[in-house]
Structures are given as structure tokens and as C-alpha cells.
Amino acid sequence: RLLAFRGSIAATSSDAQRLRQELTEARVASARLEAGAESLALEVASSERSAEETERKALGVARELLETSQGISRLRVEAAAQQTLKLELEEAQMEATSLEQRLDATKHDLELSRLRRATAHPPEQLRSAGGAGAAPPQVALEQLRASQDFAVQEALRSAWEAEVRDRRETEAKLQAMETHIWPIRESL
């Protein structure tokens, strides 16, 4: 019996040794699993930080894109306003050209009128006729025509000066706007 008992103790001892070895292996495997879990936890935390940083960067890019879009929109509005000013300037230039032509035509008509009067009533004849008892209505008519011609000339001169002044102001405004749009175009 003792032998049987010793045999059972030896068997139990080898089982215990085998169990100790399995326990040691299980502890090593458990330590590896814990280290792997910690490593995965660190990777997950790092990945979350990267995701947050990427989100921040994406929001920054979205803000910049929005600001750029708004800037482009403002530039389009300014360009449209400049286009309107350019059209106004062109209209003013066409009107000035038309007024120049009208002024030239009026000057031509005035010269023709003076020439006709000069050939119909030469100045020497008017002076001698006036001194020799010429018909006062005819002299008065000539004076009236001369004053009317002078009034027309003054009115045309005033209108011309006003148009030139308006044209210069419009051109100055256009040039000022062009100087403001160049830096904006450069930034685009």
C-alpha cells in the first residue's frame, strides 16, 4: 500500500509539476495578452488624437474656404460695380463726343451766319448807313442777332465746360476704382 501511495504521490507530483508548468505558461500568455491590450489601448488613444487633430485641420480648411468664397463674392460685386462705372464712363465719353460734334456744328452755323450777314450788310455800309440816318430797326435787328449769337456761344461754352468737368470727374472715379481693384486681383 505504501508503494501504491508513493506511486500515487509521484503521479500527483508529476501532475502538479505539469500543472505548475501550464500555470506558468498561462501567466506568460496572460502577461503577453495584457501587454498587447495595453499596446492596443495606446494605439486607439493615438488614433483618437490623430482623428481630433484631423478634424481641427479640416475645420480650419473649411473656415479658410468659406472666407475665400466670401472674398470672391465681394470681388465679383466690386467687378460688377466697376463694369457699371465703365459703362457710365463710355456713355459719358459718347455724350461728350456728341456734344463736341454739336458744338462744332453750331460754330460752323455761327460762322455761316456771320458770313451771310457780312456779305448782305458789310460793316462799312452799316456804319455809314447808321451815320446817314439808316433805318434804326435794321440796326436794332443786327444788334439783337449779335446778342443772340453771343448768348448761344456762352451757353454752349458753359455746357461744354460742364461736360468736360463731369467727364474728368467720372474718369477720376474710374481710375480710383481701378487702383483699388488691382491689389484685390493680385491677391486672387
- Specify the higher pLDDT residue, 178 or 120: 178
What pLDDT digit, counting tens, does each position of 96-134 carry?
788 778 777 877 777 777 666 655 554 444 444 444 444
Does residue 10 surpass a pLDDT of 60? Answer: no
- Specify the higher pLDDT residue, 4 or 97: 97
Residue 132 burial by CB count (10 A; 0-12/13-18/19+): exposed, middle or buried? exposed
Instruction: Name the DSSP letter for residue 188.
Output: -
Enter the C-alpha cell of residue 48: 483618437
Rounded distance, CA 175 to CA 102, Å?
28
Is residue 77 within a helix (H) or strand (E), and if so which, with residue range? helix 2-120
Rounded distance, CA 157 to CA 103, Å?
9
Kindly report the pTM of this predicted structure.
0.36
Enter the C-alpha cell of residue 25: 505558461
Neighbours of 72 (CB within 10 A): 11
Question: Mean pLDDT over residues 85-90, rounded?
Answer: 78
What pLDDT digit, counting tens, does each position of 55-79 carry?
999 999 999 988 888 888 888 888 7
Q: What are the phi and psi torsion angles at 120 (to 5°)?
A: -75, -40
Rounded distance, CA 161 to CA 96, Å?
10
Does residue 35 surpass a pLDDT of 90? Answer: yes
Q: What is the DSSP string of 27-54?
A: HHHHHHHHHHHHHHHHHHHHHHHHHHHH
